[in-house]
Amino acid sequence: MQIILPTADGRLSPYTLHGPGAFTPAAPGTPLSRIAFSAAHVVADARAAIDPWLQCAVDWDATIGYRRRLWSLGLGVAEAMDTAQRGMGLDWPTSLELIRRSIDAAKDMPGAFLASGCGTDHLAVDDVRSVDDVIRAYDEQMSAIEKLGGKLIVMASRALARVARSPADYERVYDHVLRQAREPVILHWLGDMFDPALSGYWGSADTARAMDTALGVIAANAHKVDGIKISLLDKDKEIEMRQRLPAGVRMYTGDDFNYAELIAGNGEHHSDALLGIFDAIAPAASAALAALSAGDTARFHAILAPTVPLSRHIFQAPTRFYKTGVVFMAWLNGHQDHFVMVGGQQSTRSLLHLAELFRLADAAGLIADPDLSVGRMKHLLALHGVAG
């Protein structure tokens, strides 16, 4: 099957599809040797009578249906995280409703596991005056999620990055949060390539010093920390940090550039996974993790290797716009009936970017139904004035 796609030099060129990949996702209930969360996107309600840049409307059936799909592939769901456009269109009241619905849905899926983002995003950052304001905000969201029976992912706070004056302020906030948590939490260190407002997190623009602060917080509260997800897109920093973690504290890779190598490990340490890219490559991720669990490391790498160029393309700078590629993949593969996003974020990537994404997704074996995907791509091309 062929489609005419635009190229970077301004031409239109025929592209011949390879077709679905020769891999089979893990069967439900297959034991996996790595914990693997997929941060999951939300499906916007394209017919809602709202101002799309200013208000949030979610198609709940399609959104929860997508989570059921992830669970059926043996993946966990990291709910209401940045992949769900938290802080980029998804507000706190809608996030809490999303968390509630996902917790309820997980009860009907044997083996389903779920953790939910807890932050301070209901605060207006410009109105925050002190670290005490940040502590109260974390307490509010923690209480609401734990009341629903949810496990916490403690997200990085824009408000804390704004008002903190030293590493001691971070230590004070996180010591409080961890003492208050009912069960061990996952911490999230999100780099400024994902969110410029988080520059200098942990009290320093120097990553080594920031890491020392984060590790100090973890060491002082190790019994309350399940693990930490770091999203710095730097495998060497992740490897260094995971070697220094206390026994029993997991490293959850958030490196959407180098995840295959980090999950496989180096024989001494490995990373578990909490990745936005797993939303887009879920069938391949499931099949690869099953192969790794069966001891077939070569098969693991063979499945994931073609997904890495796709992921690096989706997460290219400006990295914070990666959600557009994730939702585009879900639309191409028929998991939602439109390519509209919360906050109008479908406009953050160019047609050329999406055309290359299409090629890379096909090369990775992730176009499940070529007829459907080609038809949808042709509609998108036509919308942009390109006849194909």
Q: pLDDT digit string (tens) for 314-331? A: 999 999 999 999 999 999
Rounded to the nearest 5 degrees, what angle is found at the Cα of 66, between the Cα atoms of 62 and 71?
150
Least confident span in 98-102, 122-126, 171-175, 210-214: 122-126
Q: Quote the CA–CA distance of 222 and 57 in Å, as a whole number.
A: 38
User: In this model, does residue 343 exceed pLDDT 90?
Assistant: yes
Mean pLDDT of 262-289: 97
* pLDDT for 388 beyond 90: no
What's the average model confidence in pLDDT over 117-138?
96
Q: Is the pLDDT of residue 238 over 80?
A: yes
pLDDT, position 10? 87
pLDDT at residue 128 in the model: 95
Please report the pLDDT score of residue 387 as a whole number: 78
Read off the pLDDT band of 133 (50, 70, 90).
very high
For 74-86, what is each residue's pLDDT tens digit? 999 999 999 999 9
d(CA 181, CA 177): 6
Instruction: Calculate the average pLDDT of the chain.
Output: 96
Buried/exposed code over 273-310 (b: 16+ C-beta within 10 A; e: otherwise): bbbbbbbbbbbbbbbbbbbbbeeeeebbbebbebbbeb
pLDDT of amino acid 316: 97
pLDDT of 249 reads 98
| CA-based end-to-end distance of the chain | 13
HEC string for the chain = CEEEEECCCCCEEEEECCCCCCCCCCCCCCCCCCCEEEECCCCECCCCCCCCCCCCCECHHHHHHHHHHHHHCCCEEEECCHHHCECCCECHHHHHHHHHHHHHHHCCCCCCCEEEEECCCCCCHHHCCCHHHHHHHHHHHHHHHHHCCCCEEECCCHHHHHHCCCHHHHHHHHHHHHHHCCCCEEEEEECCCCCHHHCCHHHCCCHHHHHHHHHHHHHHCHHHEEEEEEECCCHHHHHHHHHHCCCCCEEEECCCCCHHHHHHCCCCCCCEEEECHHHHCHHHHHHHHHHHHCCCHHHHHHHHCCHHHHHHHHCCCCHHHHHHHHHHHHHHCCCCCCCCCHHHHHHHCCHHHHHHHHHHHHHCCCCCCHHHHHHHHHHHHHHCCCCC
Q: What's the pLDDT score for residue 131?
A: 97
Rounded to 5 degrees, what angle do the CA atoms 137, 138, 141 make? 90
Q: Does position 158 have pLDDT exceeding 90, yes or no?
A: yes
CA distance 140 to 306: 42
Domain covering 35-383, topology:
TIM Barrel (3.20.20)
pLDDT of the residue at 28: 84
What pLDDT is attached to residue 43? Answer: 98
Q: What pLDDT shows up at residue 191?
A: 94
The confidence score (pLDDT) of residue 373 equals: 98
* Mean of pLDDT values over 81-108: 96
Q: How confident is the model at residue 44 (pLDDT cuts 50, 70, 90)?
A: very high
Provide the whole-model pTM: 0.96
Q: Name which of 267, 235, 256 is nearest 321 in CA terms.
A: 256
Of 45, 101, 58, 46, nearest in space to 77 by CA: 101
Residue-wise pLDDT for 163-213, tens only, equals: 999 999 999 999 999 999 999 999 999 999 999 999 999 999 999 999 999
Token output for 166: 């030293």
Q: Which pLDDT score is estimated for 27?
A: 87
Distance CA 157, CA 174 (A): 11
Judge whether residue 126 has pLDDT over 80.
Answer: yes
